[in-house]
Structure formats: structure tokens, C-alpha cells
């Protein structure tokens, strides 16, 4: 039996992941702004610190951290998207690495997004500011942001790159990190995007070679695999589960 911390476990991909890990006999500690073992607001620095402290108080060691909590384009503000999708992942990773490193074979999974690829060729000012850890530049970039969709892709690009940059430091401590980049997944977040008057039509038009969307259980299965012994040499990978969308649009980049 392993112990997992799952952020965003109250809904969608996080809830499916928790259900699968529970069914496999593991201990799961859910962390969310609602309906969770640890209720914390990952949109604020105080909430993230409280979350870290509560995790450490809840379990002497943890085998896995699964960062699913996130906000989509219908979130109240671009600031909140960045706060939850970027800082809500990176602060938790930094705050819990030492705790994870106590356990042999510990691993982290970050739920990124296919949307991160929109920034790969030319990362925008927000992506660069996040990666440079420059709070003033982040706030300037947010005040000039073209819309929540840009905050979303920037937050997902930055969290993917920042996670990959940790392979050496985490690897030395025996902690693996991998990123899953889903395409469309049938969850409340995706449904809210479909219903959105500004973005709904674009989301509906965005159909992968394998269809419109997948089931959150298919992402959860990959999380289970990443945290199994069979994946013990997988580190720093970005795993697309997008119905072929990335390969269709960028066949030469991998």
C-alpha cells in the first residue's frame, strides 16, 4: 500500500485518479478547495503553505504527489488561472520534495495540458516571467494578457517546463516527475469551456483524430502506471493523451 496526495481530487481527473488508487488498496489524501481530506485554496500563497503543512502532518511519508487541481478558461480571472495552475503545482512540489524523498521510489505526476504546445515555438511574456520567477514581470504580463486562454496555455507551458527542469535535482533525491498533457477530457472543466459563449465554438471545433474527448479514467490509468514499479525509469516525460492532436499538428516535434 502506498500513500498518495491528490490535488483537485473533488472532481474530474483528480476524482477518477483517487477512485482508481483507492480501488487498488492505496491510501489517498485528497486536497481541494472543497470536499477533501485537506481543504485548502491553492490560489493563494497562504493556502498553498497551509496545504503543505497539512500534508506533512497527515502522513509521515508519501509515495506520490498527483497535481490535478486546475482552472480552465472560464475561471474568474487570469490571475487565478496562473495561481492554481502554476504556483499551485510548483509550490507544492517544492514544499513536499523533502517529504517525498524520504520514501524509496516516490514520484510526482503533474497534469499539464495539450494547450502548453501553443507556447512552445514562441513562449509569451507571461510564460517567460513565470519561468524566470519574476513576480513584477508576471503581474505586468497579466495586466496585458489577451484573454484567459493565453493565461491557461502560459500556465500549462510554464508548469511543464519548470517540472522538466527539476529532473536533475529530483532525480538525485530519488524522486521521479512526469507530466501528462491531456487533450479534451469529459469533466466539469471541459463542459464549462464547451458552454462558454466566447470559447465554446472553438472548443467544439477542436476534434482529435480519435474523436471529441476521452474519459477521466483514461488519464487516471496513466497516473497509476506512472506511479508503478514498471515506470521506474520514466522521468521528465511529457505524455500526451490527446487522441493524436499533438502528432497531427506537430509531427516533427517530440
Dist. CA 8–CA 29, nearest whole Å: 11
CB 2 within 8 A of CB 229: no
Q: How far is the CB of 143 from ligand NAD (least distance, A)?
A: 21
Positions in the binding site for ligand NAD (CB under 6 A):
8, 10-14, 32-34, 41-43, 68-72, 84-85, 111, 113, 182, 184-185, 187-190
For residues 32 and 63, which CB has a smaller minimum distance to ligand NAD in the complex?
Answer: 32
CB of 87 to ligand NAD, least distance (A): 10
3-state secondary structure of 221: helix
Q: Which CB, 88 or 123, lies closer to ligand NAD?
A: 88
CB of 174 to ligand NAD, least distance (A): 26
CA 106 from chain center: how many Å? 17
**Annotation says 152 is catalytic:** yes
CB of 39 to ligand NAD, least distance (A): 8
Minimum CB distance to ligand NAD smaller for 87 or for 141: 87
86, 87, 152, 157: the catalytic one is 152
End-to-end CA distance of the chain: give it in Å, rounded: 35
**Closest to ligand NAD by CB, 103 or 219:** 219
Residue 15 to residue 148: CA distance in whole angstroms? 25
Q: What is the full DSSP assignment across 71-124?
A: --TTSS-HHHHHIIIIIHHHHHHHHHHHHHHTSTT-EEEEE--GGGGGGSSS--
**Grid cell listed for 32:** 481541494
Where in the sequence numbering do the catalytic residues fall?
A: 152
Amino acid at each position: 500500500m502506498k500513500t498518495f496526495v491528490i490535488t483537485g481530487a473533488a472532481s474530474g481527473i483528480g476524482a477518477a485518479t483517487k477512485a482508481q488508487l483507492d480501488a487498488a488498496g492505496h491510501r489517498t489524501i485528497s486536497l481541494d478547495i472543497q470536499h477533501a481530506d485537506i481543504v485548502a485554496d491553492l490560489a493563494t500563497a497562504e493556502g498553498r503553505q497551509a496545504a503543505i503543512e497539512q500534508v506533512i502532518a497527515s502522513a509521515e511519508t508519501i509515495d506520490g504527489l498527483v497535481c490535478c487541481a486546475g482552472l480552465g478558461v472560464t475561471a474568474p480571472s487570469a490571475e487565478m488561472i496562473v495561481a492554481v495552475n502554476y504556483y499551485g503545482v510548483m509550490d507544492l512540489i517544492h514544499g513536499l520534495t523533502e517529504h517525498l524523498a524520504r520514501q524509496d521510489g516516490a514520484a510526482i505526476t503533474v497534469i499539464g495540458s495539450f494547450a502548453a504546445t501553443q507556447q512552445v515555438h514562441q513562449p509569451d511574456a507571461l510564460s517567460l516571467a513565470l519561468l524566470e520567477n519574476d513576480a513584477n514581470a508576471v503581474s505586468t504580463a497579466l495586466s496585458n494578457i489577451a484573454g484567459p486562454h493565453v493565461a491557461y496555455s502560459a500556465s500549462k507551458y510554464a508548469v511543464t517546463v519548470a517540472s522538466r527542469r527539476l529532473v536533475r535535482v529530483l532525480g538525485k533525491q530519488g524522486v521521479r516527475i512526469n507530466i501528462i498533457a491531456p487533450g479534451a477530457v469529459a469533466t466539469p472543466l471541459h463542459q464549462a469551456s464547451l458552454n462558454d459563449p466566447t470559447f465554446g465554438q472553438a472548443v467544439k471545433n477542436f476534434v482529435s483524430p480519435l474523436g471529441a474527448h476521452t474519459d477521466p479514467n483514461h488519464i487516471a490509468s496513466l497516473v497509476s502506471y506512472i506511479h508503478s514499479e514498471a515506470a521506474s525509469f520514466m522521468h521528465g516525460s511529457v505524455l500526451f493523451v490527446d487522441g493524436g492532436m499533438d502528432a497531427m499538428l506537430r509531427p516533427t516535434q517530440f
